[in-house]
């Protein structure tokens, strides 16, 4: 029992956004972690709301010009990836039927085993999202959140799933020259857009890379493997936000504290925001050689 109580101090779970149990945004979402409170402010109060109110997401989802809210996110808050926020943003509406805003479920993991617990945490959040969608009243919703919070520490003990970096990089190396060039473009863009710089937090329009994902990868595999690559390629990076829309084959990588304008990309389809592989960077042979060596070392 004592071990589980100790683990409970390292796992926090919370919710924010819209649900039919409230006439507007969730009141008193019971966020007990400072990191989750910051996540609500940065992602939701500042980021999502700003893009909705500014009209940046005015396009109709049915036309394919805008991705629906159905995203999984992984937010590393430390250089050693031992403080992670894992989240699901799912379609929802308030008690008046307004459906522009999502429901966001987040778990903060503060443990050395945080990366290994990413798949189990995503599965838990998926199950919780289904329970919240089925909840008809405020009381049912809060009961689902409280039950999930009580069992949240268990994710730290549910297996040791390593990021499938070898499978991710295998698709780039030794298959075709263009595949190796694609990896070189990914690595070049990551360092160009995400590497720490004095003005990075204020440079709207920078700090974003859209990375390819194998078709057979789950959300957890896509996020955890690209996190490992980013961490290996840019060791000085203190944190990174990774977001993937469910059913799509890409990951949007952003600076640790993105501006609202940078977050707008998470709902942009591939036709509007291309994969970095399709960006015609002028790469010299040296970066392609370094990408090949990097892949060999990382695998």
Which residues 6+ apart lie within 8 Å of 72 measured at CB? 86, 87, 88, 122, 125, 219, 220, 223, 243, 244, 246
Sequence-separated contacts (24+) of 196-205 with Cβ below 8 Å: 196/236, 196/237, 196/238, 200/255, 201/255, 201/257, 201/259, 202/259, 204/259, 204/261, 204/262, 205/261, 205/262
Same domain, 294 and 176: yes
* Residue 222 in tokens: 């896509």
Same domain, 217 and 235: yes
What's the pLDDT score for residue 157? 86
Q: Among residues 157, 187, 222, which one ends one of the domains?
A: 157
Please state the rounded mean pLDDT for residues 10-28: 93
Please state the rounded mean pLDDT for residues 12-34: 90
Same domain, 124 and 215: no
Q: Among residues 138, 157, 176, which one ends one of the domains?
A: 157
Domain count, the chain: 2
Same domain, 13 and 120: yes
Residue position matching structure tokens 């008690």:
95
Same domain, 171 and 135: no
Same domain, 192 and 143: no
Same domain, 178 and 31: no
Please state the rounded mean pLDDT for residues 56-74: 91
Measure CA 255 to chain center: 12
Same domain, 145 and 19: yes
Same domain, 129 and 201: no
Which residues 6+ apart lie within 8 Å of 162 measured at CB? 116
Residue position matching structure tokens 């966020």:
31
Measure CA 19 to chain center: 21
CB-based burial, 270-295: b 16+ in 10 Å, e otherwise: eeebebbbeeeeeeeeebbeebbebb
Q: Among residues 157, 192, 226, which one ends one of the domains?
A: 157
What confidence tens digit (pLDDT) does each residue in 228-280 have? Answer: 999 999 998 889 999 999 999 999 999 888 999 999 999 999 989 999 988 88
**Are residues 25 and 101 in contact, defined by beta-carbon separation less than 8 angstroms?**
yes
What confidence tens digit (pLDDT) does each residue in 168-221 have? Answer: 988 776 555 588 889 999 999 999 999 877 554 544 446 899 999 999 999 999
Please state the rounded mean pLDDT for residues 69-78: 96
The size of the chain, in residues, is 299
84 pairs with which residues across the strands?
Answer: 76, 109
| pLDDT beyond 60 at 3 | no
Same domain, 135 and 173: no
**Are residues 188 and 283 in contact, defined by beta-carbon separation less than 8 angstroms?**
yes
**Are residues 194 and 255 in contact, defined by beta-carbon separation less than 8 angstroms?**
yes
**Are residues 294 and 232 in contact, defined by beta-carbon separation less than 8 angstroms?**
yes
What confidence tens digit (pLDDT) does each residue in 136-175 have? Answer: 999 999 999 999 999 999 998 886 678 999 889 887 765 5
Q: Alpha-carbon distance 218 to 79, whole Å?
A: 24
Where residue 212 falls (left for φ over 0; alpha for ψ -120 to 50; beta otherwise) is: beta
Same domain, 32 and 153: yes
Share of the chain above pLDDT 70, in %: 90
- Supply φ then ψ for residue 149, to 5 degrees: -65, -40
Please state the rounded mean pLDDT for residues 281-299: 85
> Following DSSP, what letter does each residue of 142-154 receive, concatenated?
HHHHHHHHHHGGG
Same domain, 17 and 83: yes
**Are residues 19 and 96 in contact, defined by beta-carbon separation less than 8 angstroms?**
no
Measure CA 276 to chain center: 18
**How would residue 26 be classed by pLDDT, with cut points 50, 70 and 90?**
very high
| pLDDT beyond 80 at 1 | no
- Residue whose C-alpha is closest to residue 183's, from 51, 68, 293, 261: 293
Q: Alpha-carbon distance 188 to 170, whole Å?
A: 18
Domain range for residue 274? Answer: 165-240+248-298
Query: Lowest-pLDDT range, 29-33, 43-47, 226-230?
Result: 29-33
| Number of alpha helices (DSSP H) and beta strands (DSSP E) in the chain | 10, 7
What's the pLDDT score for residue 206? 61
């Amino acid at each position: 029992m004592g071990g589980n109580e100790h683990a409970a101090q390292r796992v926090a779970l919370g919710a924010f956004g819209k649900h039919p149990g409230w006439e507007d945004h969730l009141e008193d979402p019971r966020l007990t972690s400072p990191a989750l409170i910051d996540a609500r402010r940065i992602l939701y109060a500042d980021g999502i709301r700003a893009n909705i109110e500014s009209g940046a997401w005015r396009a109709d989802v049915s036309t394919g010009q805008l991705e629906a809210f159905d995203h999984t996110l992984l937010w590393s808050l430390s250089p050693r990836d031992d403080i992670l926020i894992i989240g699901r943003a799912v379609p929802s509406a308030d008690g008046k039927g307004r459906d522009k805003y999502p429901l966001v479920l987040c778990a903060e993991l503060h443990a050395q085993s945080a990366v290994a617990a990413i798949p189990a945490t995503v599965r838990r959040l998926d199950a919780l999202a289904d329970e919240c969608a089925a909840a008809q009243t405020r009381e049912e919703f809060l009961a689902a959140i409280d039950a999930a919070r009580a069992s949240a520490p268990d994710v730290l003990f549910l297996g040791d799933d390593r990021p499938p970096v070898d499978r991710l990089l295998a698709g780039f190396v030794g298959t075709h020259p263009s595949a190796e060039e694609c990896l070189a473009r990914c690595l070049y863009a990551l360092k160009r857009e995400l590497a720490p710089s004095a003005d990075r937090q204020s440079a709207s329009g920078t700090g974003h890379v859209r990375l390819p994902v194998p078709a057979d990868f789950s959300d957890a595999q896509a996020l955890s493997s690209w996190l490992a690559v980013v961490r290996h390629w840019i060791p000085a990076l203190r944190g990174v936000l990774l977001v993937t829309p469910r059913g799509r084959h890409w990951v949007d990588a952003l600076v640790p504290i993105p501006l609202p304008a940078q977050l707008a990309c998470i709902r942009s389809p591939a036709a509007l925001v291309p994969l970095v592989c399709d960006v015609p960077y002028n790469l010299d042979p040296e970066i392609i050689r370094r990408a090949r060596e990097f892949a060999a070392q990382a695998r």
